[in-house]
Amino acid sequence: MAKLYFRYGAMGSAKTLNLLAVAHNYTQQKKSILMVKPIIDDRFGKNNITSRAGLEKEADILVDNDTDLHVCDFTGIDCILVDEAQFLSAEHVDQLRAITVEKNIPVICYGLRADFQSNLFSGSKRLMELADSIEELKTTCFFCNRKGTMNLRHVNGKAAVEGPSIAIGADDMYYPACYKCYSEQIAEAKADQEKVLA
């Protein structure tokens, strides 16, 4: 049986760059890949899977709420690569898991583990529950030299403490942070908020 992989990391951990490198390796070996991404991720164009380093490839399947992956044609496909997997629904992750069993095709998913409030995304949660292999892609905290494990959202130069879980943004909105720097910035933002309300 083929495996379901989840490769996660904080912002700036080269998840998409890693995905594109894997895609390149399969292509070099004359193997067929299927590129998948949630339609909600339109930062670099609706159809593009683009790394911040500038490499890109067009997605073959754009997943929205109504997408049923079971009806897609997987004939001749050697591997399915999924970008921004945190935005998938739990049902879509279940479908990907079923594809590894029924079609014997490996599925490699890349994405964030948690949002800026340290809550698991639904897609990431289900991947943590079902994946055969879970691997952390590491990055350094933007504010110090420790490992960045948290996703810090900034609004107007300050850490955000509330807001929607999903906000597709530019590089200057999100920062990888270690837990110490993350908690310090959140505490500072909450203190500033309390001052305004006082």
Tell me how crowded residue 198 is: count the other CB atoms within 10 A of its CB: 5
48 to 16, 87, 88, 168: CA distances (angstroms):
11, 16, 17, 14
Burial tier of 54 (Cβ tally within 10 Å: 0-12, 13-18, 19+):
exposed
Number of helices and strands (H, E) in the chain?
A: 4, 11
Closest C-alpha among 144, 138, 63, 141 to residue 99: 63
**Cα diameter, the chain:** 64
The active-site residue out of 56, 84, 129, 135 is: 84
At position 110, the amino acid (one-letter code) is Y
Assess whether 135 carries a catalytic annotation.
Answer: no
Distance CA 133, CA 73 (A): 25
**Residue 127 DSSP SS3:** helix
Distance of CA 189 to the CA centre of its chain: 26
**Residue 123 DSSP SS3:** helix
- The residues carrying an active-site annotation are 84
